[in-house]
């Protein structure tokens, strides 16, 4: 349940808000150019506002039918511990369930203790059956 002072909005965040929230919540920063390309391709997106200021967000990306990934779950430190992350996850999962037409694979990467939030929504570690893998591509490095 979202505290009454906050408003949850189903909308893709503005680029400036997205970049600020990633930076200020401790997520890896992205460039403006990458955010301008990526954000419009969100399958689902929610923002949490306090007095018109975005203090939390989350997105789902994917192919629209078979595979989805939960990304950009972020809450500013001053607003953590108030249930905002739970409200973001609950909304994304409810909206995702209402839009899928068949069984879908939904994944995420849990940094730090975030796995404690995600297990509340049915996510389970995939190891040792599978191992999550990642790579950062940088066009400047070829």
At residue 111, does pLDDT exceed 70? Answer: yes
Taking residues 40-60, report their average pLDDT. Answer: 97
Domain-located, residue 105 = yes
For residue 109, what are the β-bridge partners? none
Domain-located, residue 59 = yes
Q: What is the pLDDT of residue 105?
A: 95
For residue 70, give the CATH number of its domain.
Answer: 3.40.630.30
Q: What is the pLDDT of residue 104?
A: 95
If pLDDT is split at 50, 70 and 90, which confidence band does 51 have?
Answer: very high
Q: What total of structural domains would you count in the chain?
A: 1
If pLDDT is split at 50, 70 and 90, which confidence band does 142 have?
Answer: low
On average, the pLDDT of the chain sits at 94
Taking residues 119-139, report their average pLDDT. Answer: 89
Domain-located, residue 1 = no
At residue 136, does pLDDT exceed 90? Answer: no
Q: Cβ of 21: how many Cβ atoms within 10 Å? A: 22
Domain-located, residue 2 = no
Domain-located, residue 81 = yes
Taking residues 95-115, report their average pLDDT. Answer: 93
Q: What is the pLDDT of residue 138?
A: 82
pTM comes to 0.93
Domain-located, residue 41 = yes
- In whole angstroms, what is the distance from residue 37 CA to residue 40 CA? 7
Q: Cβ of 136: how many Cβ atoms within 10 Å? A: 6
Domain-located, residue 95 = yes
Query: Which structural domain, as residue segments, surrounds residue 43?
Result: 7-141
Ramachandran class of 26: left when φ > 0, alpha when ψ lies in -120 to 50, beta otherwise: left
If pLDDT is split at 50, 70 and 90, which confidence band does 1 have?
Answer: confident
């Amino acid at each position: 349940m979202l505290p009454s002072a906050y408003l949850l909005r189903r909308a893709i965040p503005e680029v400036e808000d997205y970049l600020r929230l990633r930076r200020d919540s401790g997520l890896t920063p992205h460039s403006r150019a990458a955010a301008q390309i990526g954000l419009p391709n969100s399958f689902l997106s929610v923002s949490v506002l306090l007095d018109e200021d975005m203090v939390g967000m989350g997105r789902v990306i994917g192919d629209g039918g078979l595979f989805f990934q939960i990304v950009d779950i972020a809450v500013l430190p001053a607003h953590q511990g108030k249930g905002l992350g739970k409200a973001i996850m609950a909304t994304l999962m409810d909206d995702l369930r209402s839009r899928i037409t068949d069984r879908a694979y939904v994944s995420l990467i849990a940094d730090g203790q975030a796995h404690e939030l995600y297990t509340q929504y049915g996510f389970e570690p995939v190891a040792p059956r599978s191992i999550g893998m990642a790579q950062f591509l940088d066009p400047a490095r070829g």
